[in-house]
Structure 1
Amino acid sequence: MIKIEKQVNKLNSKLLAASGNKYDLRNIPKILNSVENGWGFSDIKHNLDLDNPLIYNSFINDEERITLKNLLDLVSSNQKALEEVERLLTRNILYIGSECDNLGRIDIENEFSDLEKVLSSKYLMLERVETPDISSFIDKWDLVKPEIIYISCHGTKYGLYLKDKAGRCEEYLNTEFVKFFNKRSEYTECVVLSACESLTLGESITEAGKNVVCVNSKVDIATATQYTEYFFRYINDHSLENSDIYEKAHETSMEKINFEGLKDSFSFKFLKTARIT
């Protein structure tokens, strides 16, 4: 299966680079999802029209076309290979929510429950940091290797409030957070900071190679909850698109909460990394 992983990653890197991040193998499971409706891998190859050089000459050469055809042939006849490819094409989401009752209740239990309902796509895997302290956060992050991090807590322009080992609410400074964001830029694509005044931290994380959603001021908790629902609903419904998905999810969420006239609706910012992740 290691050979398949290298094959998928190498081919996907070529497609992304050659097409300016427009074409991504994450689009393939969009067709795989239709298998339940009678579609199969022959339909995938037909729809991609890999035998027609006019279709892909703008971004894929003959060698890459053959590699993709061979990959599709392999997974069509090998269940383990199919499972491995699907695993490689799945986005993992890691949620950490932390309460600080004296700063206003977020209701993270309800928030996580709602998130589970929204994220119904088979190509999205939601995990949670059960004990929201820094040590548990790092351990879970290294275990899950998530493409998306969602941090829901109170914050200031200097840092975020998470629980310590004793369960006490403590402010952790931005300078400490940036260190382990830098270490994990290889696999994490987007960080959602659902925390007041998190713009400073968001800008630092973007420099480390992440797309970031953050808050440039204080924000009403109810508005933040609604924004988050719209953001992840878009991710769920378009989870197999290319790397612009996070920016599009933000734009859609902003359009909806602004139209609804929600309090502090202009507090959310999307920061796009200059690096290809």
Structure 2
Amino acid sequence: MQEDFQDVLSNDEQNAHSNKDYLNLDDSLSKIPVLSFPEIEVLALFGSNDAKLKKFSFGFQGIRRYLDIHQQTLTIALKRLVRKRIIAKNNDQEYFLTKHGGNLVSNLFNRSEEESNDSNYSELNEFPSCEIEMKINLKREDHNKIANRLKGKWFSHYRYVGSSIGEDKSILEWITDEANYSASVCSNNNGDIRITVSALKFCDGQRLREETSKVSLFVEKNLREIFDQSPILKRKIENVKSQPSLDSTYLNNWIEQIYQSQIQQNYS
């Protein structure tokens, strides 16, 4: 069960979170703290190239399913990271890196990011994805209304992961129970919606198309309820090659390298 983080914060930290000035509070923290293995797993998720580019924030269950980590273990790890002011929670109850956390992740994973961009790795870890483009008439509405409607929802065997909400567009992501597929829905103020379903493991093409249809039906149903209309344009793009942002095998190796490096740094 997810616990309330206020019971592990000092009064100053509670005030900082309440007043939303915790980003400035992190400036005084410059040294790399000692981190447990589960904490490094969480930071590796935040430190992935895809998550950083999107400025992604993750829900508790999304982190748990991506990392395949025990719920109680994750709760303790998140508590400690909040106490160290490395992560914080936004108003949507999703976790994001603080300023100090961002600097820490950059220091921890800088070398591994260069390795992850290696062309040999990219070629070996490409899996297919399927995309559907939609167009709707937003009138006076914007992408935030779509994001707020879809945020936190579970459907079929897809479990909500997290979001990236910007001024011009919103991105929401889901992952299946078995972590075989991930789905993202990106919408912007022009009424353009892109649904992408990516295989995280080798899969049958027909199954991928079926998974994409599930996500598309879920989005269309909600669009009709929000705007009382179906997409005025729908185009399917199949078999797009994509490198999954969080390949579990590579992520585990990455985490182990960082963990061993930190042990040497802190105890040598």
TM over 0.5: no
TM-score by length of 1: 0.25
Structure number with the higher strand fraction is 2
Identify the structure with bigger relative contact order (alpha carbons < 8 Å, sequence gap 6+). 2
